[in-house]
Amino acid sequence: MSSNTTEGPPPPKKRQTYEAGCHCGYIKFSVTVSPPLPETKPLRCNCSACRRFGYLLVYMVRKDVEWHGDSWTRLSRYQFNTKEKDQLFCGKCGASIGIDFRDSYAGNHPSMFGISVRTFNGIDLDALEYRTLNGVDEVQPAEDLSGKQYELDERKTTSSTREEAEQELAAAAAIA
Ligand SMILES: [Zn+2]
């Protein structure tokens, strides 16, 4: 009987750091993924954001993303739906970077980033396997908001709730 299997801390998980960035080079960062690709399978989700931004996401705690130079302050941010997360992209070239979850899961998880592996330098996207998520049906309050958020925001200046804004939008669409 060996006691070695129960003694001491578990072996540290394998980690790998990848250099990443946008298309034009305005945003540069490194990301540590544990376990390394391809063992970590990026998430391919069908929600309105993942579809439009082309996300293939891996997730990590905030300290595992190191933003180089001024990249953190250079990021452009977009919020939709509950607006509790920031969709990150480069305002110069438009490249999609990932999601800053901020405190949207506070209490349950440490604050995380979801970073699209499409930003990783020199990896073969076709060699990876992906997890899939039917986010449009399974993640609440997701729905297909493609093409709606701008008008919802405009309507919100005159209506107090999102429901009111959506009703106004539907009424306007019925007239048009
Ligand atoms: Zn760029």
Identify the pLDDT of residue 148.
79
Identify the pLDDT of residue 110.
75
Q: How remote is the CA of residue 47 from the centroid of ligand 1, in Å?
A: 24
The protein residues having their C-beta less than 5 angstroms from ligand 1 (an ion) are: 22, 24, 26, 90, 92-93
Q: How remote is the CA of residue 74 from the centroid of ligand 1, in Å?
A: 10
Q: How remote is the CA of residue 45 from the centroid of ligand 1, in Å?
A: 24
Q: What's 42's DSSP letter?
A: P
Domain ranges of the chain: 16-134, 146-176
In which region does residue 139 sit, left (phi positive, over 0), alpha (psi from -120 to 50) or beta (all else)? Answer: beta
- pLDDT tens readout for residues 101-131: 988 766 667 789 999 999 999 999 999 999 9
* Residue-averaged pLDDT of the chain: 86
Contact 34, 15 (CB under 8 A): yes
- pLDDT tens readout for residues 16-33: 999 999 999 999 999 999
pLDDT per residue rounded down to tens, the chain (176 residues): 444 556 777 777 899 999 999 999 999 999 999 999 999 999 998 888 889 999 999 999 999 999 999 999 999 999 988 888 999 999 999 999 999 998 876 666 778 999 999 999 999 999 999 998 877 777 766 667 777 788 888 877 666 666 776 777 677 666 65
Indicate the CATH number for domain 16-134.
2.170.150.70
Q: Name the helix (H) or strand (E) containing 57.
A: strand 57-61
Give the residue from 125, 114, 119, 118 showing the smallest Cα distance to 87: 114
Residue 62 CA to residue 171 CA, distance in Å, equals 42
